Structure 1
Amino acid sequence: MKRRDTLKALTLSSLGFAALNPQETLAESRAAAEAALPDVPVKVPGGRLKEEAIRDAQLNAAKFFTVAEMATIKVLADIIIPADGKSGSASQAGVPAFIEFIVKDMPAQQTPMRGGLKWIDREAQKRFGKVFTLITKAQQIQIVDDIAYPEKAKPMYSQGVAFFNLMRNLTASGFYTSKIGIDDIGYVGNTPNVWQGPPEEVLKQYAKHIE
Structure 2
Amino acid sequence: MDRRKSLKAMVAGTVTSGFMFSSCLTDTEETSVANVETPTEGDNNYDTTRTKEELAYEKELRAKDAFFTEHELATLTILADIIIPAEGEYSAASQVGVIEFISFIVLDMPHHQLPLRGGLMWLDHESNRRFNKVFKDVSSEQQIEIIEDIAYPEEVKPEHTQGERFFSRLRDLVSTGYFTSEEGIKYLGYVGNTPNVWDGVPADVLAQYNMEYDQRTLDICIKPEERNEIANWDNYEV
Aligned to 2:93, the other structure's residue is in SS state coil
Match of 2:30 among 24, 28, 31: 24
Give the deviation of 1:176 after TM superposition: 0.9
> How far apart in 1 are the matches of 2:73 and 2:124?
13
Instruction: Tell me the TM-score normalised to structure 1 length.
Output: 0.83
Kindly indicate whether residue 74 of structure 2 is the aligned counterpart of residue 74 of structure 1.
Answer: no
Give the deviation of 1:194 after TM superposition: 4.6
Amino acid corresponding to residue 185 of structure 1 in structure 2: L
1:3 aligns with: 3
Match of 2:60 among 58, 61, 64: 58
> How far apart in 2 are the matches of 1:142 and 1:192?
47
> How far apart in 2 are the matches of 1:160 and 1:208?
64
Q: 1:82 to 1:2 in 2, by over 3 A?
A: same
Are the equivalent residues in 1 in contact too, given 2:42–2:48 (CA < 8 A)?
no
2:230 aligns with: none
1:209 aligns with: 210
Aligned to 2:177, the other structure's residue is in SS state helix
- State how 1:13-162 maps to structure 2 within 5 Å: 15-21=19-25, 23-25=29-31, 27=33, 43=43, 44-62=46-64, 63-162=66-165
Give the deviation of 1:162 after TM superposition: 0.8
Q: Which has the higher contact order (CA 8 A, sep 6+)?
A: 1
Q: Please list every run of 5 or more consecutive structure 1 residues that lacks an aligned counterpart in the other structure.
A: 35-40
> How far apart in 2 are the matches of 1:120 and 1:106?
22
> How far apart in 1 are the matches of 2:185 and 2:125?
35
Kindly report the root-mean-square deviation, in angstroms, between the aligned alpha carbons of the 2 structures.
2.9
1:37 aligns with: none
Give the deviation of 1:196 after TM superposition: 4.0
Give the deviation of 1:60 after TM superposition: 2.4
Are the equivalent residues in 1 in contact too, given 2:17–2:176 (CA < 8 A)?
no
Q: Percent identity?
A: 48
Give the deviation of 1:88 after TM superposition: 1.2
Q: 1:164 to 1:210 in 2, by over 3 A?
A: closer
Aligned to 2:94, the other structure's residue is in SS state coil
Give the deviation of 1:42 after TM superposition: 8.0
Are the equivalent residues in 2 in contact too, given 1:26–1:105 (CA < 8 A)?
no
Give the deviation of 1:13 after TM superposition: 6.1
Q: Which moved more, 1:88-97 or 1:15-24?
A: 15-24
Q: 1:101 to 1:26 in 2, by over 3 A?
A: farther
Give the deviation of 1:192 after TM superposition: 2.6
Give the deviation of 1:177 after TM superposition: 1.0
Give the deviation of 1:156 after TM superposition: 0.8
Are the equivalent residues in 1 in contact too, given 2:119–2:162 (CA < 8 A)?
yes
Q: Please list every run of 5 or more consecutive structure 2 residues that lacks an aligned counterpart in the other structure.
A: 213-238
> How far apart in 2 are the matches of 1:109 and 1:144?
20
Are the equivalent residues in 1 in contact too, given 2:86–2:93 (CA < 8 A)?
yes
Q: 1:146 to 1:207 in 2, by over 3 A?
A: closer
Aligned to 1:152, the other structure's residue is in SS state coil
Q: 1:146 to 1:193 in 2, by over 3 A?
A: closer
Instruction: Tell me the TM-score normalised to structure 2 length.
Output: 0.74
- Structure 1 residue ranges, 4+ long, deviating more than 6 angstroms after superposition: none
